[in-house]
Amino acid sequence: MKRCILLSAFLLVSLFTASVSLGADDLKITKDKDGTTWSVGSDESRDKRRAEEERDKDRAWDMLQNQSIILDKRTTK
């Protein structure tokens, strides 16, 4: 009987902590003339994601600029 009570209490506590950690993201709603935009996540995570995307774009551009391209000068008949 005690095991059932302890197991039930453990499950309730673990479910509560999981729901709190899953609901930690912020909800940002912006309205403009085109419609409503819903964003999930904190401002920090959005800024971090934007910075990461910008860094990836810069690295891809650098890769393309540093790539040595060889053009074939054959002519077709």
Tokens 């499950």 locate to 11
Q: What is the pLDDT of residue 58?
A: 94
pLDDT in tens, 1-19: 777 787 787 777 777 675 5
Cα gap 63→4, rounded to integer Å:
60
pLDDT band of 55, cuts 50, 70, 90: very high
Instruction: Find the farthest-apart pair of alpha carbons in the chain and give their distance in angstroms, rounded.
Output: 91
Q: What is the pLDDT of residue 24?
A: 55
Q: Tell me the average pLDDT across 30-58.
A: 87
- Does the pTM exceed 0.75? no
**What single DSSP character describes residue 41?**
S
Instruction: Identify which of 48, 49, 67 has the alpha carbon closest to the alpha carbon of residue 59.
Output: 67
The domain ranges of the chain are 40-67
pLDDT band of 60, cuts 50, 70, 90: very high
Q: Is 47 left (phi over 0), alpha (psi -120 to 50) or beta?
A: alpha
